[in-house]
Amino acid sequence: MATLGLNVDHTATVRQARRGTEPDPVAAALIGEMAGAVCITVHLREDRRHIQDRDVFLLREVVQTRLNLEMAATEEITKIALDLRPDQATIVPEKREEVTTEGGLDVVANRAAVEWTTKTLRDKGVLISLFIDPDEAQIAATREVGAQAVEFHTGAYANARGSEQAAELERLRVASLAAHALGLQVNAGHGLNMVNVVPVARLPHMVELNIGHSIISRALFVGLERAVREMVELIR
């Protein structure tokens, strides 16, 4: 059965709009856990546009479930991750000009950096997941660099409609089977919401869905506790 990893980045987006103290992503994480999220996910971007260093270290102290740090495979962020010791690190591509993480990590092209970050953190007991497109070569490279999990980028599925969406779902299904066959844990995320999440939750071997924007958006209208609880129930 798939589970929810709640991404609280966009609580910090609202806070950073005023460079103030509210709303606090740490409070969002605690409410999310109480509502049934079994993992708290945050992306400490190099440009610090939403989550700040203070957030990740406070989260490390208070999160009772699991802390998943999304991060670029850079020396600066890897050093922070070594201090932080998240339960899981999800390595993502990062471009300063992008609005959000636009595509999966090209593990094949960035092998040296990804392998170094993977090994450095894995040796300290951090579970390493690579955020990749549902692509055979990327899955194989994920295994080769020593990561234990994949997170499939579901953005193309989320943006597609009709038969194109069915084709994207089939790509995800084939990729899930391939990753599992190589001994990799299967996670997914990006662009998932209450309308499109169920077919992804039903994919074979799906362990963790990381969802942020749609839940934080819905929370404006129904409250965070309810928004998380409803998503957890749908995924189940």
Residues that are catalytic: 43, 70, 190
Closer residue to ligand PXP (CB): 88 or 90? 90
Is residue 60 within 8 A of residue 86, CB to CB? The reply is yes
- Interaction residues for ligand PXP, span 8-27 (CB under 6 A): 9
Region of 20-28, 77-85, 194-202, 206-214 interacting with ligand PXP (CB under 6 A) = 206-214
Encoding tokens for residue 205?
């071997």
Taking the complex as a whole, the smallest distance from the CB of residue 37 to ligand PXP amounts, in Å, to: 13
15, 173, 190, 218: which one binds ligand PXP (CB under 6 A):
190
Encoding tokens for residue 80?
């922070």
- Interaction residues for ligand PXP, span 67-106 (CB under 6 A): 70, 90, 92, 100-101
Is residue 142 within 8 A of residue 111, CB to CB? The reply is no
Encoding tokens for residue 71?
């991060």
200-220 residues labelled b (16+ CB within 10 A) or e (exposed): bbebeebbbbbbbbbbbebbe
Chain length of the chain: 236
The reply on whether position 211 binds ligand PXP by CB under 6 A is yes
Residues in contact with ligand PXP by the rule CB under 6 A: 7, 9, 43, 70, 90, 92, 100-101, 131, 151, 189-192, 210-214
